[in-house]
Amino acid sequence: MGITIKDVADAAGVSTATVSRALRGLPNVDAATRERIQRIAADLDYVISPSASRLASGRTGSIAVITPYIARWFFGTVLSGVESVLQSAGMDLLLMSVSTPEGQHRLPPAPRLRRRVDGVLVIALPPQDPQLHEVLALGMPTSLIGVAVPEVPSVTIDDVHAGRIATQHLINLGHERIGVISGAPIDARYTAEHDRYRGFEEAMGGAGLAIDPMLEAYGYFTIAGGEQAMTALLTQQSPPTAVFAMSDEMAFGAMKAMRSHGLRPGVDISLVGIDGHDMSELLDLSTVVQPVQDLGRIAAEALVLQLRSNADVAAEAIRLPTQLIVRGSTGPRSR
Amino acid sequence: MGITIKDVADAAGVSTATVSRALRGLPNVDAATRERIQRIAADLDYVISPSASRLASGRTGSIAVITPYIARWFFGTVLSGVESVLQSAGMDLLLMSVSTPEGQHRLPPAPRLRRRVDGVLVIALPPQDPQLHEVLALGMPTSLIGVAVPEVPSVTIDDVHAGRIATQHLINLGHERIGVISGAPIDARYTAEHDRYRGFEEAMGGAGLAIDPMLEAYGYFTIAGGEQAMTALLTQQSPPTAVFAMSDEMAFGAMKAMRSHGLRPGVDISLVGIDGHDMSELLDLSTVVQPVQDLGRIAAEALVLQLRSNADVAAEAIRLPTQLIVRGSTGPRSR
DNA sequence: TTGTAAGCGTTATCAA
DNA sequence: TTGATAACGCTTACAA
């Protein structure tokens, strides 16, 4: 049924070896011969068999992307950055979703990787996640996004800094009772929240402000979670006057809770997030913008480069800049 | 370096054929033999070479998903439904983003599909998109999501119905000057918007209401587009008292425009969307909810089934139900 | 139930 | 610069 390299070789009156070389752009092929082969291949509508090529060469031309979520804004946006790079590089993108600590039943990713891809991109698994380490243990070229592990290439933002400037912004507005909505209790934390919390601590400490453990709540990086967390904070005997939410989506949920309590963001309580989510402008949310698509793009570029130069490049930990955008959800302390 | 089927066969004292059969769960293998082989394979940490298996069998065990966007809510949510099914089915998911009429520079998808995947899932390309037809022309098992083409299996909602109930809801509230925010001018339309517009027409016609062409604007299914479209509607000499936006994201943008003009959704102007977007509850948007994840899930299941039973199943056009959710963005006509 | 052996369509080594 | 040819690691008739 299918045209093979043999058919092209016969039609061109050369060997399959020459066709292979010509079509892959290898050197040491006569220019005229190459052109003729290319024309004939096109005429015959020849398409190379990836399976055969992979078997013979040992390279798969594929990269797996491992992510805990697909439909959430951060992950989808990272993924779109990755995809554009891999498409330009002519590599196949295998998408694999994995369970998170809270998550549903799913296959562990590591066994599905072996002999199947040349490299792996992992998006924001918690640094202590066993699945992450099973993947790393495979020893294949890997690049991390939104997590950092020593000795492994990664692309992240400076989460400590992000947490610090978000908090500092609230402090600058005169707030002293500052609450924080993080993701989860400490043992299940992402790198990001761990570091953002440290930034929070640093800013608070730097201003000589006490951190009230009663003013921390968990929002699990979801809208609904953010709503619950904010509700918990608001029903304290003495609620915060400002809240730092570690993601915009949790901040959105927090806004919902505030509305239910008749409180206005930026007036009654100030609220700042991190992300620069598509909807943050619409909801007038102050936030620390991170270049999410670039996280994916740059990690993918680094991985492709490493695969091409099949030498172990030094494991670089790249950090991208962030920027505070002040909107209406934060304002001076009113009481 | 790698353990091959030969190593397992030698260790088990059987032929590679038997190992192949045993490990794939084929019948006609002695139960004890199979168990022994499985144990030995596990002990040796044997992993099958997909390339070799694919080359020998002619099946790739992969399905491509072609989508115009990855990071937008609808597409990401569909994709997550698809992914969960393919993962359970043990198939690889190749993700390919394609350009849309407005879009960026990208490779056409069809050439990247041949010999590479067993089947294709296409998410919501406009029915007249040449890229869609190039894919269909390949003649491989295909299932469409959010588009319908005669003779091709598809999973959609009843968009006419969705448009009708959204519009009827506004009519029931007493509105007569009803605007509509669609995606794009008629020649670049998705199936969805075409049909939703028909539903709009039917409802208007059924109520004896005139459709004012001045009250239609294009929002390109984005937040920013929705904002511009609503701005255009509001700056009419005689603006609508209610607006039907064909997607929630455009409705969000419309809300932003209303806010800029000091207008309150549901009070000054009623606004209804379609989607059931994550953020619709938060923004108190009335909307026609569609089961987006199920769209992906069901299409993927149908495709997997077709591949397994490698017979041409009758091309089914599946339609999933929708439901109007009334929230605060729609209210009785006030003037 | 198991084994033999001929593919599957490339790539890569070595020679010419 | 080109050609022969041996892998690559599995699947699948066909035979036993």
CB contact under 8 Å between A115 and B51, yes or no, is yes
User: In this structure, is residue B329 part of a structural domain?
Assistant: no
- Of B32, B57, B82, the last residue of a domain is B57
Is A305 a domain residue? yes
Each residue's pLDDT tens digit, B148-178: 999 999 999 999 999 999 999 999 999 999 9
Residues A225-267: tens digit of each pLDDT: 999 999 999 999 999 999 999 999 999 999 999 999 999 999 9
Examine the pLDDT at B103 and tell me if it is beyond 70: no
pLDDT at B1: 65
CB contact (8 A) between residue B52 and residue A55:
yes
pLDDT value at residue B189: 78
Q: Please check the confidence at residue A314 and state whether its pLDDT lies above 90.
A: no
Q: Which CATH number goes with the domain that contains B10?
A: 1.10.260.40
The pLDDT tens digits of the residues spanning A32-71 come to 999 999 999 999 999 999 999 999 999 999 999 999 999 9
CA dist., res. A287 & res. B92, Å (int): 37
Is residue A107 located within the same domain as residue A33?
Answer: no
Give me the residues paired with residue B123 across strands: B145
CA distance A253 to A265: 12
Q: How many domains does chain A have?
A: 3
SS3 readout for A81-98: HHHHHHHHHCCEEEEEEC
Within-domain flag for B328: no
Do A282 and A200 sit in the same domain of this protein? yes
Min Cα–Cα distance to chain A from B249, Å: 9
The Cα of A34 is separated from the nearest Cα of chain B by a number of Å equal to 21
> How far, rounded to the nearest angstrom, does the alpha carbon of residue B235 sit from its chain's CA centroid?
34
Rounded to an integer, what distance in angstroms lies between the CA atom of residue B149 and that of residue A62?
A: 31
Same domain for A236 and A148: no
| CB pair distance less than 8 Å for A223 and B279 | yes
Residue B100 has pLDDT above 80, yes or no: no
Q: Please, are residues B53 and B43 in contact by the beta-carbon 8 Å criterion?
A: no
pLDDT, tens digit (0-9, with 9 covering 90-100), for A103-143: 566 888 999 999 999 999 999 998 889 999 999 999 999 99
pLDDT at B229: 98
Q: What is the pLDDT of residues A141-172, one digit of tens each?
A: 999 999 999 999 999 999 999 999 999 999 99
Which nucleotide lies at the shortest CA–C1' distance from B57?
D11
Residue A212 lies in a domain: yes
Mapping DSSP onto H, E and C, the string for A118-142 reads CEEEEECCCCCCHHHHHHHHCCCCE
A327 inside domain: no
Within an 8 Å CB–CB cutoff, is residue A244 touching chain B?
no
Let me know if residue B86 belongs to a domain: yes
Residue A148 near residue A191 (C-beta atoms within 8 A): yes
Question: What is the average pLDDT value for chain B, to the nearest integer?
Answer: 94
A67 and A111 share one domain: yes
Closest CA to B170 of B275, B269, B278, B291: B269
**Mean pLDDT throughout B81-90?**
96
Looking at the C1' of nucleotide C13, which residue has the nearest alpha carbon?
A17
Q: Above 60 in pLDDT, residue B101? A: no
Contact B116 A92 (CB under 8 A): yes
* pLDDT above 60 (res B55): yes
B232 falls within a domain: yes
Residues B165 and B200 in one domain: yes
Listed in sequence order, the residues at least 6 apart from B323 whose beta carbon sits closer than 8 Å to its beta carbon are: B288, B289
Looking at the structure, do residues A165 and A267 belong to the same domain, yes or no? yes
Is residue B245 located within the same domain as residue B285?
Answer: yes
A213-229: per-residue pLDDT in tens?
999 999 999 999 999 99
Pairing of strands A286-289, A323-325: antiparallel
- A203 Cα to chain B: minimum distance (Å): 31
- Interface with chain A: mutation pick from B248, B282, B294, highest number of A CBs within 10 Å: B282
Handedness of CA A101, A102, A108, A112 (dihedral sign): negative
From CA B54, how far away is CA B15, in angstroms rounded?
20
Dihedrals phi, psi of B320, to nearest 5 degrees = -100, 150
Residue A333 lies in a domain: no
Confidence at residue A189, expressed as pLDDT on a 0 to 100 scale: 78
pLDDT at B104: 64
* pLDDT tens for each residue of B183-237: 988 777 788 889 999 999 999 999 999 999 999 999 999 999 999 999 999 999 9
Domain span at A247: 159-290
Higher pLDDT, B115 or A312: B115
Kindly report, residue by residue over A262-298, the tens digit of the pLDDT.
999 999 999 999 999 999 999 999 999 999 999 999 9
Token pair recorded at residue A138: 């495979």
Q: How far apart, in Å, are the Cα atoms of B211 and each of B202, B214, B215, B274?
A: 10, 9, 8, 20
Q: Which nucleotides of strand C lie within 7 A of protein CB?
A: 1-5, 7-13
pLDDT for the residue numbered A274: 98
* pLDDT at residue A128 in the model: 87
**Beta-carbon pairs below 8 A across chains A and B:** 120
Q: In the predicted model, is pLDDT for residue A320 greater than 90? A: yes
pLDDT > 70: percent of chain B: 96
On whether both B165 and B285 belong to a single domain, the answer is yes
User: Between chains, do A115 and B50 touch, taking CB under 8 Å as contact?
Assistant: yes
Q: What is the CATH number of the domain that holds A309?
A: 3.40.50.2300
Chain B (47-76) residues lying within 8 Å, Cβ to Cβ, of chain A = 47-52, 54-55, 60, 65, 69-73, 76
What's the pTM? 0.95
Segment 74-113 of chain B within 8 Å of chain A by CB:
76-77, 79-80, 83-84, 87, 92-97, 106-107, 111
Nucleotides on chain D within 7 angstroms of protein Cβ: 1-5, 7-13
Give yes or no: residues A177 and A284 share one domain. yes
CA distance B29 to chain A (A): 25
Model confidence at A1, in pLDDT bands (50, 70, 90)?
Answer: low
Task: Say yes or no: A182 and A278 in one domain.
Answer: yes
How many helices (H) and strands (E) are present in chain A, helices listed first?
A: 11, 12
CB contact under 8 A, A69 and B50: no
Do B218 and B233 belong to one domain? yes
- Are B186 and B147 contained in the same domain? no
Instruction: Annotate B116-148 with DSSP letters as a single string.
Output: T-SEEEEES--TT-HHHHHHHHTT--EEEES--
